[in-house]
C-alpha cells in the first residue's frame, strides 16, 4: 500500500514536471502573468551564488552561470525594482507595462558581493540583501554552513550523534549525514541548536571557535563591501535577526533583542533607516502576532516570508510571499515560479493561518 502511494506520488510529480516543462517553453506563463496576475508582485529569494562546486551540495548556493541566465530572464520579462520601491508602486495608479519583480538574498553571504553584485551591476538590476548582523565582519557563519564545512573537511570515518552512527567513508554518505543532521537541528531552539552544532564540530575533529578560512564560500559579508553595494544605489539592506534565531521559539524579550539589534546594526552600517525584515526560516510557524507587533514597534514596513505565492496591493506586508530559488531548480520550474504558475494553494493557506484575517 505504502509502495503504491509512493508510486502514485512519484507519477504525479513526474506528470506535473512534464506539464511545467511543456508550458514553460510557450508564451502562456508570461501572457497569464500580464493578464490574470497583472497586479501581482513576484519576489524571488536566493542565499549564496557560488563560482565553483561545493564538496557537499547545498540547495542555498546556486551556480553563477545559472544565476546569470535567471537574471537575464527576469530583466527581459519583468520590471525589476527594489522591494521597498515595489511596495510603493504596488499601491500607486502608475503601473509599469511589465509585471513587478524584486530580487532578494537572505543571510548576507560574502559571495553576494563577489559573485552576484558584478552581475547585477552589469545588468542594472536592483536587489535587497537581508543581514544576520552578529555574523557580519566576523569569520563565523550560519550554522548549516558550519556543518557543511566540517563534514566536507573532516578526516573522521564516522560520527555518533545521539546514539545514531553516521558513516563518513565516502562523499555520498557525508552528504547524507550532513543533510540529515541539518534537517533535525533546524527544528531546535537556538540555544540547543548552537550546543548541538558545537558538539558535532568537536566530534568531527575541529575547534568550534576556529572560524572559516579566508577563501571559504560560506563567509559572511563585511561592512566595507556592504557599504560599497549600498552606495551603488542598486542594493538595499534589511534585517534578518541578529543570530538567525527562529523567532517563534523565543520569549518576547529575546525576540525584541533579535529584531532591534539587527535593525540597529543595519542602520549603523548603511547610515539609513532599516525598514525591511526577513524571518529566519520564514515558514508559517516561525513567527507570530507578537513578532509582528515588535516589528511594527521597531518601524519595519515590510517583512518577507519563505511562503510561496503572488503579492497584491492588499497582501499583508508582514506576511509577504517569496519564491525560494534553489540551486537544482530547473529552467522551466524557475519560469513557472516567477510567473505564479506553480501550485501555491498550500502555501497561501499556510500564510492565511500565520496572518489571520490579513493575508
Ligand atoms: Zn536565513
The CA 142 to ligand 1 mean position distance, Å, reads 8
State the residue for C-alpha cell 563534514.
151
- Distance (Å) from CA 9 to ligand 1 centroid: 30
- List 100's β-bridge partners, or say none: 41, 79
> So what's the pLDDT on residue 158?
94
Q: Measure CA 245 to chain center.
A: 14
β-pair type (61-63, 79-80): unpaired
Is the pLDDT score of 102 beyond 90?
yes
Residue 38 CA to ligand 1 center (angstroms) comes to 30
Question: What cell does 101 get?
Answer: 519583480
Q: How far is the CA of 270 from the centre of ligand 1 (A)?
A: 20
pTM of the model: 0.90
Centre of ligand 1 from the C-alpha of residue 7, in Å: 34
Q: How far is the CA of 8 from the centre of ligand 1 (A)?
A: 34
For residue 281, how far is its CA from the centre of ligand 1 (angstroms)?
6
Of 119, 82, 159, 107, give the one whose Cα is nearest residue 279.
Answer: 107
49 forms bridges with which residues in the sheet? 62
Measured in Å, residue 246 CA sits from the centre of ligand 1 at 9
What are the pLDDT digits (tens) for 251-271? 999 999 999 999 999 999 999
**pLDDT of res. 55:** 85
Residue 197's pLDDT is: 95
Cα(23) to centroid of ligand 1, in Å? 32
Indicate the range of 123-132, 316-325, 331-340 predicted with least confidence: 331-340
Listing DSSP states for 259-308 in one string gives HHHHHHHHHHHHSS---EEE-SS-SGGG--HHHHHHHHHTT--EEE-S--
d(CA 51, CA 115): 7
User: Ligand 1 centre and the CA of 131: distance in Å?
Assistant: 8
Q: What angle, rounded to 10 degrees, do the helices at 252-270 and 223-231 form?
A: 60
Where are the chain's structural domains?
A: 14-139+217-354, 143-203
**241 C-alpha to center of ligand 1: Å?**
9
Mean pLDDT comparison of 68-72, 180-184, 340-344, highest-scoring range: 68-72
Query: What homologous superfamily is domain 14-139+217-354 in, according to CATH?
Result: Glycoside hydrolase/deacetylase (3.20.20.370)
Q: Which three three-digit cell numbers place residue 350?
A: 499556510
Cell (9 digits) for 356: 489571520
**For residues 353 and 346, what is the distance between their CA atoms, to the nearest angstrom?**
11
Where do we find the cell 514596513?
301
User: Which cell is 112 given?
Assistant: 553576494
All three cell numbers of 19, joined, read 506539464
Task: Report the mean per-residue pLDDT for the chain.
Answer: 89
Centroid of ligand 1 to alpha carbon of 259 (angstroms): 14
pLDDT tens per residue, range 269-322: 999 999 999 999 999 999 999 999 999 999 999 999 999 999 998 899 999 999
What's the DSSP call for residue 112? I
Strand partners, 102: 43
pLDDT 10s digits, 153-211? 999 999 999 989 999 999 889 999 999 999 899 888 888 999 999 999 999 999 888 88
Report the range of poorest mean pLDDT among 20-34, 68-82, 284-298: 20-34
Query: Is the CB of residue 344 less than 8 Å from the CB of residue 42?
Result: no
Residues in the chain: 359
Q: What is the DSSP string of 7-41?
A: HHHHHHHHHHHHHHHHHHTSSHHHHHHHHTTTT-E
Asked if pLDDT for residue 243 goes beyond 60, the answer is: yes
State the distance from the centre of ligand 1 to the C-alpha of 81, rounded, in angstroms: 22
Distance 95 CA to ligand 1 centre (A): 31
C-alpha of residue 244 to centroid of ligand 1, in Å: 6
Cβ partners under 8 Å of residue 341, min gap 6: 20, 23, 29, 32, 335
Grid cell at residue 36: 490574470
Q: Are 215 and 142 in contact (CB under 8 A)?
A: no
Amino acid at each position: 500500500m505504502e509502495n503504491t502511494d509512493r508510486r502514485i506520488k512519484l507519477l504525479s510529480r513526474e506528470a506535473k514536471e512534464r506539464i511545467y516543462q511543456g508550458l514553460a517553453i510557450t508564451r502562456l506563463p508570461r501572457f497569464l502573468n500580464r493578464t490574470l496576475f497583472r497586479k501581482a508582485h513576484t519576489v524571488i529569494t536566493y542565499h549564496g551564488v557560488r563560482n565553483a562546486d561545493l564538496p557537499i551540495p547545498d540547495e542555498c548556493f546556486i551556480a553563477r552561470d545559472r544565476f546569470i541566465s535567471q537574471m537575464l530572464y527576469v530583466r527581459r520579462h519583468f520590471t525589476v525594482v527594489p522591494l521597498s520601491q515595489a511596495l510603493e508602486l504596488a499601491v500607486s495608479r502608475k503601473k509599469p507595462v511589465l509585471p513587478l519583480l524584486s530580487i532578494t538574498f537572505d543571510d548576507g553571504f560574502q559571495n553576494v558581493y563577489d559573485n552576484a553584485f558584478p552581475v547585477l551591476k552589469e545588468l542594472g538590476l536592483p536587489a535587497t540583501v537581508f543581514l544576520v548582523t552578529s555574523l557580519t565582519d566576523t569569520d563565523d557563519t550560519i550554522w548549516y554552513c558550519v556543518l557543511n564545512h566540517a563534514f566536507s573537511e573532516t578526516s573522521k570515518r564516522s560520527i555518533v550523534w545521539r546514539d545514531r552512527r553516521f558513516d563518513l567513508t565516502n562523499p555520498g554518505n557525508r552528504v547524507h549525514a550532513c543533510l540529515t543532521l541539518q534537517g533535525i537541528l533546524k527544528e531546535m531552539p537556538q540555544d540547543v541548536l548552537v550546543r548541538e552544532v558545537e558538539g558535532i564540530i568537536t566530534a568531527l575533529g575541529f575547534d568550534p571557535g576556529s572560524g572559516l578560512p579566508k577563501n571559504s564560500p560560506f563567509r559572511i559579508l563585511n561592512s566595507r563591501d556592504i557599504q560599497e553595494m549600498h552606495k551603488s544605489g542598486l542594493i538595499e539592506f534589511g534585517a534578518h535577526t541578529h543570530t538567525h534565531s527562529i523567532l517563534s521559539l523565543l520569549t518576547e524579550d529575546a525576540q525584541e533583542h533579535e529584531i532591534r539589534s539587527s535593525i540597529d546594526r543595519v542602520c549603523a552600517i548603511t547610515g539609513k533607516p532599516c525598514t525591511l525584515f526577513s524571518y529566519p526560516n520564514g515558514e508559517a510557524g516561525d513567527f507570530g502576532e507578537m513578532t509582528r507587533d515588535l516589528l511594527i514597534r521597531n518601524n519595519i514596513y515590510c517583512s518577507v516570508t519563505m511562503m510561496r505565492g503572488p503579492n497584491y496591493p492588499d497582501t499583508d506586508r508582514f506576511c509577504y510571499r517569496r519564491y525560494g530559488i534553489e540551486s537544482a531548480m530547473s529552467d522551466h520550474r524557475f519560469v513557472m515560479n516567477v510567473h505564479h504558475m506553480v501550485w501555491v494553494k498550500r502555501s497561501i493557506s499556510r500564510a492565511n493561518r500565520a496572518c489571520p484575517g490579513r493575508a
